[in-house]
Structures are given as C-alpha cells and as structure tokens.
Amino acid sequence: MLLGVDLSGANLLAATMSNADLSDANLTDANMTDANMTGADLSGADLIGTTLCKANLFTASLSHADLSGADLSGTELTDASLAGANPSGARLIGARLIKTRLDAANLSGANLRGAATAA
C-alpha cells in the first residue's frame, strides 16, 4: 500500500503498479510513461504535470485527482473514473476514454484531439 506516498519527480517509466493503492499520493512531475496501472486507486492523488503517455489505467480510479497540465497522450482510460477530477490543461491526445466516468471533471483547456470516447 502506497497511500499518501511522495513520489514527486520520480522516474516510474514502464513501472507495473496494477491494483496499487496510490490514493492521495504526490506524483507531481513524475514520469509514468508506459506504466501499467490497471485497477490502481489514484483517487485524490496530485498528478500535476505528470507524464502518463501510453500508460494503462484501465479500470483505475482517478476520482478527485489533480491532473492539471498532465500528459496522458495515448493513455488507456477505458472504464476508469475521473469523476470530480481536475484534468484542466491536460493533454489527452489519442487517449481511450471508453466508458470513462467524467462527471464533474474539469476539462477546461484539456486537449482531447483524436481521443476515443463512447458512453
């Protein structure tokens, strides 16, 4: 369990953290490119400026997480929850947002070009 851990600026390139509890963690400016975070709990986490390009966040919970300015280009977010999250200004270019919960998420300024979405 990594609840509330401080991993700010960490290099977690291609890390495997499936089903990890990272709720309320500080991951500001971390590099999580190609990370496998299937089913991870990142609710309330601080992901400001974090690079999550091509990460696998299938069924992950990012509820109430701060993703402002994060790069989630090409990220798998199918069946994930971003309910109440703040991905304002985030890059979601080519991300998969199939059945992703976005209720009350702040998407202002987010770049969703080429993102796959479906209810």
- Full pLDDT tens readout for the chain, 119 residues: 677 899 999 999 999 999 999 999 999 999 999 999 999 999 999 999 999 999 999 999 999 999 999 999 999 999 999 999 999 999 999 999 999 999 999 999 999 999 998 86
Q: Looking at this protein, which amino acid is placed at residue 71?
A: D
| Nearest CA among 58, 45, 56, 57 for reference residue 10 | 45
Q: What pLDDT shows up at residue 4?
A: 84
What architecture is domain 1-119?
A: 3 Solenoid (2.160)
Domain residue limits, the chain: 1-119
How far is Cα 50 from Cα 47, in angstroms, rounded to an integer? 5
pTM of the model: 0.94
